[in-house]
Structure formats: structure tokens, C-alpha cells
């Protein structure tokens, strides 16, 4: 998977991806990240990337020529898409990450200031993505979020065990609670079932905890979740218990 990021702050892409899971993926050559400096494609001696908006008003707008020139400098692979990061985009989630992970190349355009000249959208942008309903200072953090979530789904990036865990989010539920040693910490004990060695019982407990957490914190996720008949029975019991306790 190849990511090409168009930005006026390319240095932002040289630290975060070098650590941890992404760092390993880069080293193994499973992903590539190319940061393209939009400023290198400006046409004036001052290397201007922004200008005042036509019609007046506050703030600056990113000029179209440097962005389009930068885009045209990027080699396009067959299965690729050009994404603009913007709070006006479609909301990013795990399903979208999975869809994007099926591509060979994602070209991420990071806006700054009030936005980019609308003609860039019209001419080149194939998809607009928002990482949530809040306004960041630019698309760079959002691009890193997309790169991280998509890279984890590229085959080989996570070890076998962890990719199974990833699958467990893909069924649309929140994760069950995790514990490691010591058995007791500041008076809080690890749930007995996890020490039992009874794998079937542990699996059932974890599933129930996942359902409980999702029901309490994110009931909206249950509508789209992948639930077995057993899950549905359990969920009804949990709903009844929750009602009794209120």
C-alpha cells in the first residue's frame, strides 16, 4: 500500500509513522509513505500557497495551481484514489478503512487555512473524508489517522494473533476488558474466569463483556453489529438487567 500525502508540512509525516506498528510495516516494505511538499510546486519567488478569498471575508484560501501541480507530479498506480481531508467529508470509520485497504495507493490532500480553492475539488478530488465532527488546524492529523487505520489492515502488518483481534472489532462491538499480571493490584482482582483455564467459558465471558460495554457506551453500534442468535439472547438479558437497575 502506497500513501502519497500532499501537504505544506511534510516533516509531520516523518516521525509518527516511524514508530511501532507503522514503523515495522515501513521497514518491511508493506507500506510506503511519500510526503509531497505543496510549496515545491508554487510558481512565484515567494513560494505562496495561499491567497485572499474572492468575494472578501476572513481567512485565506489555498491556491489551486500548487496543489494541482503537486498532484500531477505523483505517479498513479492502477487502483488508487485521491482523497481530500476535510470536516465536510464522509465520516471515516472501520468499514471505510477496510474499503480503502483494498486499494494500491491513496493520495491524501491536506488542506490548511479556511480551505482549498473549489476548483481543486472539481478537477481532482475523488473522495472527501472527515475523521470526526470537530475542526483541526489542517488535514495532516486526519491523514495520519487514515494512514494508521488503513495500514493495520494491510496483510502482514499485524501478526496473526492481533489481526484476529482486529477482526473482533470488525464485528462492530467494543472490546472486552483486558488484564495482565499481577493478579491483584491495589485491591482490585482479575476476574476469576480469566484464571480458570476454561477457554470456552473465557470466550463466553469476553463476548458478554463486549456486548455489555457496547450496550452501555455505544448502543448505536448494535444496529450494525454482526450478532449471533446467542448474542441476541444475551443482549435481551443485559437490557432487562439494565432496566431493573434503574
Give 203's contacts (C-beta < 8 A, 6+ positions apart).
Answer: none
The stretch among 70-78, 83-91, 189-197, 211-219 that binds ligand ADE (CB under 6 A) is 83-91
Choose between 22 and 142: whose C-beta lies nearer to ligand ADE. Answer: 142
Alpha-carbon 28 to chain mean position: 21
Residue of 29, 78, 122, 134 that binds ligand ADE (CB under 6 A): 134
Tell me if 242 sits within 8 A of 215, measured CB to CB: yes
Q: Is 136 in the site for ligand ADE (CB under 6 A)?
A: yes
CB 130 → ligand ADE: shortest distance, Å? 4
DSSP 174: P
Strands 2-7 and 127-130 turn out to be: unpaired
- Residues 163-202 as x/- pattern, contact with ligand ADE by CB under 6 A: ----------------------------------------
Tell me if 218 sits within 8 A of 165, measured CB to CB: no
Q: Is 132 in the site for ligand ADE (CB under 6 A)?
A: yes
Cell of 39: 510549496
The stretch among 60-68, 94-102, 133-141, 179-187 that binds ligand ADE (CB under 6 A) is 133-141
As a whole number of Å, the end-to-end CA separation of the chain is 49
Per CB under 6 A, residues contacting ligand ADE are 85-87, 130-132, 134-136, 139, 142
Amino acid at each position: 500500500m502506497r500513501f502519497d500525502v500532499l501537504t505544506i508540512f511534510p516533516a509531520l509525516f516523518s516521525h509518527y509513522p516511524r514508530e511501532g506498528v507503522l514503523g515495522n510495516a515501513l521497514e518491511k516494505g508493506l507500506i510506503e509513505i511519500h510526503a509531497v511538499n505543496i510549496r515545491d510546486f508554487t510558481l512565484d519567488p515567494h513560494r505562496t500557497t495561499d491567497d485572499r478569498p474572492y468575494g472578501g471575508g476572513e481567512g485565506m484560501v489555498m491556491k489551486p495551481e500548487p496543489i494541482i501541480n503537486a498532484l500531477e507530479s505523483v505517479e498513479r498506480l492502477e487502483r488508487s484514489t485521491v482523497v481530500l481531508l476535510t470536516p465536510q467529508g464522509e465520516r471515516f470509520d472501520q468499514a471505510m478503512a477496510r474499503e480503502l485497504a483494498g486499494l494500491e495507493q491513496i493520495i491524501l490532500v491536506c488542506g490548511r487555512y479556511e480551505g482549498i480553492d473549489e476548483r481543486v475539488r472539481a478537477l481532482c478530488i475523488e473522495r472527501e473524508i472527515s475523521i470526526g465532527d470537530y475542526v483541526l488546524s489542517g488535514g495532516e492529523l486526519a491523514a495520519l489517522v487514515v494512514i494508521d487505520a488503513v495500514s493495520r489492515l494491510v496483510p502482514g502488518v499485524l501478526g496473526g494473533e492481533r489481526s484476529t483481534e482486529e477482526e473482533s472489532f470488525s464485528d462492530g462491538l467494543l472490546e472486552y476488558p483486558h488484564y495482565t499480571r499481577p493478579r491483584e493490584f491495589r485491591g482490585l482482582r482479575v476476574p476469576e474466569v480469566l484464571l480458570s483455564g476454561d477457554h470456552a467459558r473465557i470466550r463466553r465471558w469476553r463476548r458478554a463483556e463486549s456486548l455489555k460495554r457496547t450496550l452501555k457506551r455505544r448502543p448505536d453500534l448494535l444496529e450494525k453489529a454482526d450478532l449471533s442468535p446467542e448474542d441476541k439472547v444475551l443482549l435481551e438479558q443485559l437490557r432487562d438487567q439494565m432496566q431493573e437497575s434503574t
